Structure 1
Amino acid sequence: MATVQFAEVKKSFGAFPVIKGVNIDIQDGEFVILVGPSGCGKSTLLRMLAGLENISGGEIRIGGKTVNHLPPKERDIAMVFQNYALYPHMTVAKNMAFSLMLASASQAEIDKRVNYAAGILGLTNLLDRYPRQLSGGQRQRVAMGRAIVRDPQVFLFDEPLSNLDAKLRVAMRAEIKELHHRLKTTTVYVTHDQIEAMTMADKIVVMHDGRVEQVGTPLELYDNPNNLFVAGFIGSPAMNMIKGRIDPDNHRVFIAEDGNRLPLARGFPGAVGKDLIYGLRPEYIRLDGTGYQAEVVVIEPTGYETQIVVNFGGAEVTCVFRERVDVRPGEAITIAIDPVNVHLFDQKSGERISG
């Protein structure tokens, strides 16, 4: 196990910068997820950590040692790829043992490590099969087993669940998290799926356009996003964004573009006169017969909850209700807002206003 540090790391392809001075500190044994939309630089950052991409500036350290110019085999890392990358002509056992065979490990050591990894991952009865005889989830476990047998300082996962169906992704999320609890190896995991990030990570690094937008625990990012990008990216359904301004005569009232006067739990005197965004999570809207009228646009029942999109505040707003709601598109519902959980953002800078 080891710490991992990115210190002012940069990467350019020709004159085009894709990583723009990234600083991240990963503690020994932490499970850290790099998350962001396609093209944000998260996979490039992981490949630089693995030694598969050269860096253009800064330092990458593993266990306190600078590894900028070390080849991948000397970094003591193991990587699990999105497409499994299994050898089709080798059995499960030989796929898992391949790196040890290249390192000239003894057969007794190979058997010990392969059987240990197979036992952890539920592959013991599949060791004589070939990849073509396995399901997608079993192939992914073999890829993980191949990483485990190396006993590395750091595990790297590059969107390992992208090729699996929805039900299997949920099961594999739990398996990977359980594996981390058991092995306690420092893990860096890349995904564009913020649900994966929220449910698996000890710490999340939100990336956008080659930069780190915010680092924190899942609930820190959910409850206290630094800016509009993080607020909109973390959470499903996403945070609602309503444009408007603070009432100059009552700093605890927000006037939306459609004229609705929305509550604030406290005043924001420094933000009076600015164009703002009123940020509200869907679960903090409730049905209330004395509240605001809103026209229903879309209804999405999921069984344990009902998601309803309404026209409100000059925007389409998503509400999440635990109760069953008997309503149709075009009809009106009456909603109320919990102002304690409202965030204000500056429209121009996108930054959250703290007070």
Structure 2
Amino acid sequence: MANVKIDNVIKRYGAVQVMHGVNVDIEHGEFVVLVGPSGCGKSTLLRMLAGLEEISDGTISIGDKVVNDVSPKDRDIAMVFQSYALYPHKTVGENMGFPLKMAKRPKAEIDEKVGRAAKILDLAHLLDRFPKQLSGGQRQRVAMGRAIVRDPQVFLFDEPLSNLDAKLRVTMRVEIKELHQRLKTTIVYVTHDQIEAMTMADKIVVMRDGRVEQVGAPLHLYDYPSNVFVAGFIGSPSMNFLRGRIVSEGGAKQFASESGLRLPLPDTPAEVGAEVIYGIRPEHIGVGDAGIPVDVVVVEPTGSETQIFAKAGGDVIDAIVKDRISAAPGSQIHFVIDPANVHLFDAQTEQRI
């Protein structure tokens, strides 16, 4: 195991700067997920950590050793790519043992390490097959096995589940998390899927435009997003956002949207008249006999829950309820909002108030 320190890392391509002073500390044995939309810099950062991209400025340390000028093969890392990158003419066992063969390790050692990795990944019965005879999930496990046999200080995963179907992605998420619990090795994992990030990570690094927006445990980011971007990115479906201002009603503060909708507020230091962005997650909206009257636009039943898209004046609000309700498009129902679940952000800076 090893700690990883990314200290004020900058990346430029000619005159264009794409990484802007990134700082991330990763502890021994931690599972850290870099997450963000396409183009945010997460894969570039991972490739710099692997030594596949040069660092323009700043330092990256693995196990307290600065590795800026260390070649990829000497960094004691192993990388699993989005594409499985398996040799089609080699068997599963030969693919898994190839890094050790290239390192000129004894055959007995190769066989022992391949056998151990195959047992961990439930591949022992497939060692004599070729990649074309495997399913997508099995191929991804072979790629992981090839990394495991090297016994690296750090595992790097670059969107390894993107090519799998939805059901298999869930299975592989569990397998990778279980693998981490067994090996207790430091893992840095890149994905654009915030569900993968939430379910797998010990710590999430949310990135946008080559900058780190927030770092923290999954539930901390969910409960206390530092800005509108993080609040909208973490959580599925995305948080509802309404623009408006703080008003006073009978001596109590309320939120008034731009279309005139009045909504309850938690205790807040924001002053009356302040322009704010009001955030509420769909799963924190209930349906009751009293509350905010809304006109139902679309109802999407999924079995365990029902998603409701509704309009209140000019505002569209998305709600997720556990009950099976009979609301139909065009009907009117009432949304119930607990002020304790409301998030407020400054309208100009979009930072959490």
Shorter-chain TM-score bucket reads: over 0.9
Aligned to 2:7: 7
Q: 2:43 aligned with 1:43, yes or no?
A: yes
C-alpha displacement at 1:331, in angstroms?
A: 1.4
For residue 188 of structure 1, give the secondary structure of its aligned residue in structure 2.
strand
1:242–1:314 contact (8 Å) kept in structure 2: no
The letter of the residue matching 1:238 is S
Task: Report how many residues are paired.
Answer: 352
Q: Tell me, which stretches of 5 or more residues in structure 1 are unaligned?
A: none
Extract structure 1 runs of 4+ deviating beyond 6 A: none
Aligned to 2:115: 115
For residue 20 of structure 1, give the secondary structure of its aligned residue in structure 2.
strand
The letter of the residue matching 1:265 is P
* Aligned mates of 2:7, 2:268 — CA distance in 1: 39
Structure 1 range deviating more: 293-302 or 220-229:
293-302
Assess, with a 3 A threshold, how the Cα gap between structure 1 residues 29 and 157 changes in structure 2: closer, same or farther. Answer: same
The letter of the residue matching 1:144 is M
TM-score, length-scaled by structure 2? 0.98
1:35–1:193 contact (8 Å) kept in structure 2: yes
Aligned to 2:241: 241
* Aligned mates of 2:290, 2:44 — CA distance in 1: 52
The letter of the residue matching 1:21 is G
C-alpha displacement at 1:288, in angstroms?
A: 1.4
* Aligned mates of 2:299, 2:49 — CA distance in 1: 44
Aligned to 1:147: 147
* Aligned mates of 1:143, 1:329 — CA distance in 2: 48
Q: Deviations over 1:119-149 (max 9, x none)?
A: 0000000000000110000000000000000
C-alpha displacement at 1:290, in angstroms?
A: 1.4
* Aligned mates of 1:251, 1:171 — CA distance in 2: 49
2:253–2:272 contact (8 Å) kept in structure 1: no
* Aligned mates of 2:254, 2:274 — CA distance in 1: 14
C-alpha displacement at 1:314, in angstroms?
A: 3.4
Aligned to 2:262: 261
* Aligned mates of 1:91, 1:208 — CA distance in 2: 40
C-alpha displacement at 1:71, in angstroms?
A: 0.6
Q: Deviations over 1:219-266 (max 9, x none)?
A: 000000000000000000111101111114645211122222211121
CA RMSD of aligned residues (A): 1.0
The letter of the residue matching 2:72 is P
1:256–1:314 contact (8 Å) kept in structure 2: no
* Aligned mates of 1:314, 1:141 — CA distance in 2: 49
1:308–1:320 contact (8 Å) kept in structure 2: yes
TM-score, length-scaled by structure 1? 0.97
* Aligned mates of 2:290, 2:167 — CA distance in 1: 41
Aligned to 1:217: 217
Aligned to 1:19: 19
Aligned to 1:81: 81
Assess, with a 3 A threshold, how the Cα gap between structure 1 residues 121 and 96 changes in structure 2: closer, same or farther. Answer: same
The letter of the residue matching 2:265 is L
Structure 1 range deviating more: 168-177 or 341-350:
341-350
1:10–1:58 contact (8 Å) kept in structure 2: yes
Q: Deviations over 1:3-46 (max 9, x none)?
A: 00100001011111111100000000000000000000000000
Aligned to 1:33: 33
Aligned to 2:253: 252
1:33–1:197 contact (8 Å) kept in structure 2: yes
